[in-house]
Amino acid sequence: MVIDLGVLDNHLGYFIRRIQVWVFQDFIRCLSPIDISPAQFSVLVIIGANEGLSQSELAATLGIERARLVRMLHQLDRRGLTERLPSSADGRRHALRLTRAGQTTLKQAKALAAQHETNLQPKLGADRYRLLLDALRDA
């Protein structure tokens, strides 16, 4: 049962979609011990590397809606991983921070995510992996 992909074979979006699903599934599997999704991981990483930034800045950096971020932070707050402090300068803003528990979880998440990233290289071929990472980072 050989099936023809037709013009899909010439569409970058099709292949990007396929590999994206594949990579995310492996990520989710690797991080399942601490129950952190790709989106949650990206939020924790950016807060950890930019303590005190605002929700608008975070949302803009990750390319997600402010409305979406509010609900993600609500979850992370409830899990005790993040907190929103009032910004001294601007009464509208919240200064985002990781709690101690958040820092610990992020450290674990980074270790598991690094393991996931290492998984990818043999599957894709180490050369292709590096090629893709470099090409996409500069894109």
Partner DNA sequence: CGAAAATTGTTGTCGAGGTCAACAATGCCG
Partner DNA sequence: CGGCATTGTTGACCTCGACAACAATTTTCG
Q: Does 37 bind DNA (CB under 7 A)?
A: yes
Q: 62-71 burial, b if ≥16 CB within 10 A, otherwise e?
A: beeeeeebee
Cβ atoms of 105 and 80 within 8 Å: the answer is no
| Minimum CB distance to DNA smaller for 67 or for 127 | 67
For the CB of residue 8, give the shortest distance to a copy of itself in the complex, in Å. 5
Q: Which stretch binds a copy of itself (CB under 8 A): 14-22, 72-80, 89-97?
A: 14-22
- The helix/strand/coil state of 21 is helix
125: left (phi over 0), alpha (psi -120 to 50) or beta: left
From candidates 88, 92, 122, 136, binder to a copy of itself by CB under 8 A: 136
Number of residues that bind DNA (CB under 7 A): 25
Site string for DNA, 98-137 (x = CB under 7 A): ----------------------------------------
Instruction: Considering only CA atoms, give the Rg of the chain.
Output: 18
Q: Does 29 bind DNA (CB under 7 A)?
A: no
